[in-house]
Amino acid sequence: MKRYSVFAIAREALRHHSGWDRAWASPEPRASYDVVIVGAGGHGLATAYYLGKNFGITNVAVIEKGWLGGGNTGRNTTIIRSNYLQDPSAAIYEKARSLYETLSQDLNYNVMFSPRGVMMLAQTHHEVRGYLRTAHANALQGVATEFITPQRVKELCPIMNIDGPRYPVLGALWQPRGGTARHDAVAWGYARACSAMGMHIIQQCEVKGVRSEGGAVTGVETTKGFIGCNKLGIVVAGHSGQVADMAGFRLPVEAVALQALVSEPIKPCMDVVVMANTVHGYMSQSDKGEMVIGGGTDGFNNFTQRGSFHHIEETLRALVETFPMLSRLKMLRQWGGIVDMTGDRSPIISKTPLGNCFINCGWGTGGFKAIPGSGWAMAELMAKGEPGPLARDFNLWRFREGQFIDESVAAGVAH
């Protein structure tokens, strides 16, 4: 792998950029691998990367039904934060956030992590108490957050109307080291690094069945033939239910479409990420200048990645009210992504009823921010066969035991 740097660009510029290598190879699958990971989204690729980096396991294939990074990794609103309430959540999201801090250097690929700060507005007294609780929890979890005044909110985000007649801003939970990153680059950066370690990323390869023997997985049937493996990781977000079904077990997840949109690009006007749960909306400005806006989830289960209108309308009402200057901007594009929601809105990183088969799913509306931490924890689980401290609480059996990690307590909307 040729290293990326400003010098490399200068060198290539002289020969019209004809000498750049492929970012990742496009090999035909081998008959078998030590590890097969289904799903070349951020979580699947990060799992592969940390299997190699942390455990030296590089005989790995990551297989992907479509194109890598084409699911929720490439269609989210790129928010990164770790100001979660429950201990297990705060641990894994903070691990992810801290890995994001150095990810560009680790991968030699600029993922543009921008720790510009994330604020979650409190617009009811009840919400104030909720965020104060999160702030107290975060203080003990090693997550740097603080509850800030409306005046400070206004200083950090001057375009906001903090004195709206219906829901004046009463304060906000502020995580200064939260922010955004370039979502595609995260997938591409991991893919390039995996490929450089000799791992195979096999796109346009759909899993059609899971083969097992004596209660343990032996490989997967795919559109490119049977691929054997000693260990299988299922990391397929919205379609987790289907792949789990092939592996012979059921999951407590349901798939719904989450809506998002961007405005036309404008010059910089907003330096932070704002989330407003009472009125249901969140927004940041991309480096390109678009206002990136998250909506809600559709009220019915489905697998189409289509945009629908009703949540967009609700979201835009909230945001135009919160940021009156938005009114004359225009919506450029809207889309949907299929998110896999668990009952407690927390992920599953777990062994499964099938031996040597592991699953990582249920990130719901908040998976992008977790990618490095999720891959780190999943790699540990797959390498050792037992979960480490980051993954332990996110096991599949918690639903049977009632040991939920309920984040809906703290955040009522998608994120």
Residues between 107 and 166 with contacts to another protein, criterion CB under 8 A: 108-110, 112-116, 123-126, 128-137, 139-142, 146-147, 159, 161, 164-166
Do residues 233 and 360 touch, judged by C-beta distance below 8 A?
A: yes
The CA distance from 278 to 13, in Å, is 50
Cβ atoms of residues 239 and 359 within 8 Å:
no
> Any idea of the CA torsion for 40, 42, 47, 53, to the nearest 10 degrees?
110
Residues between 221 and 240 that touch another protein (CB under 8 A): none
CB of residue 382 to another protein, shortest distance in Å: 19
List CB contacts of 379: < 8 A, sequence separation 6 or more: 46, 47, 48, 49, 50, 51, 54, 55
Look at residues 166, 115, 68, 92 and name the one whose alpha carbon lies nearest to residue 372. 92
C-alpha–C-alpha distance, residues 225 and 92, integer Å? 36
> Of the two residues 110 and 218, which places its CB atom closer to another protein in the complex?
110
Among 10, 28, 214, 250, the residue binding another protein under the rule CB under 8 A is 10
Closest to another protein by CB, 88 vs 238, is 88
- 8 Å CB contact between 147 and 133: no
3-state secondary structure (DSSP) of residue 366: coil
Shortest distance in whole angstroms from residue 30 CB to another protein: 19
Interacting residues with another protein between 312 and 331 (CB under 8 A): 312-313, 316-321, 324-331
Q: Tell the smallest beta-carbon distance from residue 266 to another protein (Å).
A: 5
The residue with tokens 């919400």 is: 127
Q: Which two tokens stand for residue 84?
A: 């979660």
254 scored as a contact of another protein (CB under 8 A): no
If one asks whether residue 363 binds another protein (CB under 8 A), the answer comes out as no
Pick the closer one to another protein by CB: 22 or 250.
22
Query: Min. distance of Cβ 212 from another protein in angstroms?
Result: 29
* Binding to another protein, residues 372-391 (CB under 8 A): 389-390
Q: Is 349 in the site for another protein (CB under 8 A)?
A: no
11 versus 208: smaller Cβ distance to another protein: 11
Contacts to another protein from residues 35-74, by CB under 8 A: 66-70, 74
Does residue 360 bind another protein (CB under 8 A)?
A: no
Kindly tell me which of 43 and 116 has the beta carbon lying closer to another protein. 116
> What token pair was written down for 355?
């031996």
Nearest-angstrom CA–CA distance, 160 and 102: 31
